[in-house]
Amino acid sequence: MLSLAEIRTKAESWLSKEFNEETRKEIREMLDKDEKKLIDAFYQDLEFGTGGLRGIMGAGTNRMNIYTLGMATQGLSNYIIKQCGNQGIKVAIAHDCRNNSRYFAETTANIFSANGFEVYLFEALRPTPELSYAIRHYKCQSGVVITASHNPPEYNGYKAYWSDGGQVVAPHDDGIIEEVRKITSVSDIKFNGKKERIKIIGRETDDLFLNEVQKLSLNPEIIKKFSNIPIVYTPIHGTGITMVPPALKRFGFTNILNVPEQDITDGNFPTVKSPNPEEPDALRMAIKKAVEKNAELVMATDPDADRLGLAVRNRKGDFILLNGNQTGVILIWYILSQYKERKKYKGNEYIIKTIVTSDLMERIAEGYNVEFFNVLTGFKFFAELIRENEGKKKYIGGGEESYGFLPGDYVRDKDAVSSCALAAEATAWAKSKGMSLFELLLDIYVNFGFYKEKLINIVKKGKDGAGEIKAMMTGYRDNPPEKINNSKVIIINDYEKQVSHDIIKGTKTKINLIKSDVLQFFLADGTKISVRPSGTEPKIKFYFSVNTKLASSDKFEETEKILDKRIADITADMKLT
């Protein structure tokens, strides 16, 4: 770790005329008055990783600002030129609602244009999935979205995409990181943009994107009968406001209720503790509106509209939040069942899920004789697999437990816009059968098995915390448990070693996925436990999945208590509670 003297020297280098006056002023204030803030801003460099940049905004090498962003963009530009030459390069740029997002997007556009690229810059905030679509539509070599997803207001971020519309994967990820690391001085960044190379895009691209969303509708005739279903939607101050309501209207829904306070685009997210649809507080105002208006469905999207949270009425009529696994299960079942009902299958369809997502998706795919694939956490691996199968197999849907879902392949990242439209249609379909969406979920459990999941995050901050997380993973890897909650461990998947060990058979087989620091323990009673360090936060994640048969929907509550107790017993046995 750098000494205070080294940090001060590093900070003083930011007082040169290469940096703007606003930056120099902030640096001088830190040097004179705020040693703690100075250390936080300069003790390390904000690292460009496989997912791009993400950090607190402000002056300093460990902050999101036009200089750290500029180094990333210049490095990305240099890599694109190495890969594609320096003629005819096109890139697309979008941004979310966060503070400085437009400024960062325009800075990125200037740097790309200064490097000779043709730039497609959205006129205002737009969802991440629309950026993915635009890259493919305009035949771009790369693209960038300025967003920090559902992080707190003080954060912003930068995600890089490749020509397939997916976030960068090997070998491009390492190649870009290498080029970014070569940019060691602000003087290396070409900030002086060429306006004639920057094309502002907007409504024409929106219409093309929405046309593709509309094609996903599987039961337009049912929507006509139930078009007036009251649905509450909130963008939580984010980009979803631009595309989700129009998408719902394109599908045919006419009774979309909003939360006016949360329709206002605001990077401070004033009405919520966190703009994360996984958090109950983020849907609190929307659920209140739904109760007042007797709505049947509540939908919320995160700031860049790639994650979807749903609330539905249970059999008592009270709103409950669905988790990401449950939403994914409903949408997968709806797609597969309607493909069968409408005789759309050609025999080459497949779905994708991540290794930590509910295996109930696999059971449903098996039930409909549809191929399924498991990939590592991250939709960039969905995009990679879709690209590899292009022209041979047809991707029709897939999701992950962390509230991401993608129906159709015209986008290559998780897409809450199309997922909202499909969730609304599934609600209309269920209503046509005399069911609610919750009752549809229970019906799926009865037919395919009742799977219950829980995620536990253990936060370990700082350098010591990182060491503790590493030690925990080493301990599980070197001394794996023989039993958990009195159930034998029968299979261990080690994605770092790329080996699946069947303990009962005594065999080891290769896992055909790239290396990743993930361990999975499969127990004799059907339990799956996954353990991995977070890639973006100082925490280690434990994913628990248990299952049993559900005899009938009337047995749901008592069966759920049994599964909840099993999870509680497992976490107690592992000393996590």
Q: Is the dihedral of CA 328, 329, 334, 335 positive or negative?
A: positive
Give the DSSP H/E element, type plus range, for residue 160: strand 155-162
How far, CA to CA in Å, does 230 sit from each of 237, 286, 292?
21, 12, 11
Q: Which amino acid is at 546?
A: V
What span, in angstroms and rounded, lies between the C-alpha atoms of 231 and 238? 18
The residue from 149, 337, 487, 516 that is catalytic is: 149
- State the alpha helices, DSSP H only, in 13-153: 21-33, 35-42, 66-84, 101-114, 128-137
The helix/strand/coil state of 228 is coil
Residue 149 annotated in active site: yes
Q: Kindly report the CA angle at 351 between 346 and 357, in degrees rounded to 5?
A: 160
CA separation (Å) from 272 to 75, 142, 277, 283? 36, 34, 10, 9
Single out the residue of 478, 479, 517 nearest to residue 498, CA to CA: 517
CA distances from 424 to 295, 301, 401 (A): 12, 14, 20
**Angle between helix 360-367 and helix 437-448 axes, rounded to 10 deg:** 80
Cα dist from 456 to 150, 246, 485, 515, whole Å: 18, 36, 17, 23
For tokens 């530009």, what's the residue? 77
Please report, as a single letter, which amino acid is at residue 151: N
Alpha carbon separation from 408 to 51, 129, 353, 474, 497 (Å, rounded):
23, 12, 14, 39, 33
Residues that are catalytic: 149
